[in-house]
Structure 1
Amino acid sequence: MSVQVCNFPLNPRFVLQPRSQTAARSTRIFARTESDSPRSDQQQLNLSVLRFTFGIPGLDESYLPRWIGYGFGSLILLNHFSASAPINESQLRSEALGLSLSAFSIALPYFGKFLKGSEAEKRSLPEEGEQVFVISSSIGDSLKEDLAWATYVLLRNTSTVAVMISIQGELCVRGYWNCPGQMSKAQLHDWFKRKVDEIGLADVKETLYFPQYAGSALSWDILPDGTRSVFVQPLVQNTDESEKMDGFLLVASTAGYAYSDKDRAWIGAMADKFRG
């Protein structure tokens, strides 16, 4: 998978007028499936790309190696000082090796800060913008359920605050977006489709990543204020003669450098579930 990292607009069609400031609103718009009938094997998408997390509030799993190092290092020291019998040289070498591995585990999260693409900031929820959840009504209930689950997984397991999936012109939009208030679900869905056509997202054929999105050179006015990172993964169906565009997956974050190489690969794997 080739990823194009951009700090400037590549296509003039992407340039829109600067977004207007919108007042903070609290209205939430939801679109839910009306049927919970079981899905057939042919319709079911295997979304077995979930990331392992403990789900403990306030626990950053990226620092898990540090806590493992502290734990095992403490056990080694406790075993050393509680031993009543004389300690031989082989045990000392084993303890030294164990303490070295524990020290490496403790320092491992710090090493990640010096790796490429690991300068990610923490996301913050936009102060302005609408929190929406809109799905096209013309698609099947099974696909609605898959799209709803996929967008939830992306919001839960990455720094994403806004996600949009387009499949053959049908949309699933979730998270915080800079959209008008006082609109019905159908009107809001049509508004998003019109904006997608104006920006030209449906014509994107290469993976795009903007780790330092500022909103001035590349003005996508549907994104919430404070957006710092944008990643677009096109859904391309390979045919015998050419490539057919099936849609795209867009994620946005209020953190700079929000999507590392592993994040982009994982999002691409998620997008593959809806390809073709």
Structure 2
Amino acid sequence: MPEKIKSSENSLLKNLPLIAGILGGTLLMINRLVTPTLLDSQARSDALGIILCAMLLLTSILARQIQPEPPQSVVLEGAEGFELIDDLSDKIKIELAWASHLILTNTVSKSVLIYYQGKTLLRRGILGTEKEIKVGQIVDRVIKTQKPVYLVDLKHYPGKVEFDYFPENIQGLICLPLNDGGVMMVATNIPRSYTKQNENWINGIGAKIALTLKEEYT
């Protein structure tokens, strides 16, 4: 069954209590308005019907709070690519290729960029049109403080214009320091999708890259 049809059916089932509650309440009100003489038995039936409709509405509201809508993925506006600058040793090239492959295949990340000592060492995954990384406020803060930044939902963050070297519609981003000379950045197409396990995995790979770059450039 196509994914869109499944999603539509699931949405209908989830909204069924809400639809039934609203429809039942509306019909009870119409029935009360068009009844010229209200009997005690009908009043009791109406009261019971109102309680049942309210329970259906409450069930629908609670279900939405307990099981919120999962974040929706988007198709990133860019082309897939893999770029390494030429003036790197074979050791560094193998390390960066291995690390970026692990990140893209084991996390929700769709793009990986590595910037070090004023150069863009690697671009891999879905790439934006801007090739060179221009250090903005966020990246500069990560390098200076040596503390990572996690932007889990970029559409609500005005500072995302800084990351124009990624596809324009990236939904989440992690920026990790690489010693005091650069950063590794990963981006995803799904907001609020990086789990703690993802973060730990990416942090571990970033630490390994930082160690290799430090040995190479010392």
- TM bucket by the smaller chain? 0.5 to 0.7
- Kept in 2, the 8 Å contact 1:120–1:258? The answer is no
Which of 246, 251, 255 is the aligned partner of 2:190?
255
Which of 127, 140, 163 is the aligned partner of 2:89?
140
Amino acid at match of 1:173: R
Q: Which is greater in Rg?
A: 2
**Displacement, 1:121?**
3.8
Using the size of structure 2 for normalisation, the TM-score is 0.56
Asked if 1:161 corresponds to 2:99, the answer is: no
- Please name the residue that 2:149 is paired with: 208
Asked if 1:196 corresponds to 2:134, the answer is: yes
- Please name the residue that 2:51 is paired with: none
1:108-150 C-alpha deviation (Å, 9 max, x unpaired): xxxxxx7xxx987464442x21322111211101111110111
Distance 2:108 2:175 in 1: 15
- Please name the residue that 1:226 is paired with: 169
Distance 2:70 2:196 in 1: 12
Equivalent residue runs for 1:90-109 within 5 Å: none
Distance 2:70 2:193 in 1: 5
Q: Percent identity?
A: 24
1:215-241 C-alpha deviation (Å, 9 max, x unpaired): 7602122221331111111122xxxxx
Asked if 1:178 corresponds to 2:121, the answer is: no
- Please name the residue that 2:38 is paired with: none
Unaligned runs of 5+ in 2: 1-65
Distance 1:201 1:213 in 2: 15
Amino acid at match of 2:174: F
Amino acid at match of 2:197: K
- Kept in 2, the 8 Å contact 1:213–1:228? The answer is yes
Amino acid at match of 1:175: G
Amino acid at match of 2:150: Y
Distance 1:172 1:202, change over 3 A: farther
- Kept in 1, the 8 Å contact 2:174–2:187? The answer is yes
Equivalent residue runs for 1:1-276 within 5 Å: 121=71, 123-126=73-76, 128-170=77-119, 171-179=121-129, 191-192=131-132, 195-197=133-135, 201-204=139-142, 205-214=146-155, 217-218=158-159, 219=161, 220-236=163-179, 245-275=180-210, 276=214
When you count helix as a share of all residues, which structure comes out higher?
2
Unaligned runs of 5+ in 1: 1-113, 181-190, 237-244
Query: SS in structure 2 opposite 1:179?
Result: coil
Which one is further off, 153-162 or 170-179? 170-179
Amino acid at match of 2:185: L
Distance 1:221 1:132 in 2: 16
Distance 2:190 2:138 in 1: 24
Distance 2:87 2:70 in 1: 38
Distance 2:137 2:90 in 1: 28
**Number of residue pairs aligned between Structure 1 and Structure 2:** 141
- Alignment root-mean-square deviation, CA: 2.8
